[in-house]
Amino acid sequence: MSAVAADDEETWNAFRELVNMTPGDLEKWLGTDESRSAGQHKDGGESTGHASGRRIVELLRTRRADLTDDDYAHMRKVVGYINRHLAQRPSGDVTDTRWRHSLMNWGHDPLADA
């Protein structure tokens, strides 16, 4: 297996493990006010995480054989974001927090693992 193929395999596995929301659940979430208000907004527009969530829905619905290098690059970005954000978990109940809402925009509901 080439280094690129091995990297894509590792990316695929990490993405599938960390993105624990279905495309339908993620789409529903992205339609909520909580989703739209979470994350960093540039010039009052859509947040980075919200835009990423829309891309994640597309990725989840794409056959693995049809994924591009660009898709794998975004998947690596998603894996990195989720891992960094999980390491910053606040104490206490996170049910209705911006921390959880931001993670959910990136396709990961930390309470699904609870």
- Residue type for 51, please? A
Hey, which residues does 47 pair with through a beta bridge?
A: 41
The model's pTM: 0.90
Backbone torsions φ then ψ of 108, nearest 5 degrees: -120, 120
Give the pair of three-digit tokens for residue 76: 């690596």
Q: What pLDDT, on a 0 to 100 scale, did the predictor assign at position 3?
A: 64
Taking the chain (114 residues) in runs of 10, the rounded mean pLDDT of each run is 77 96 97 88 81 96 96 97 96 94 96 76
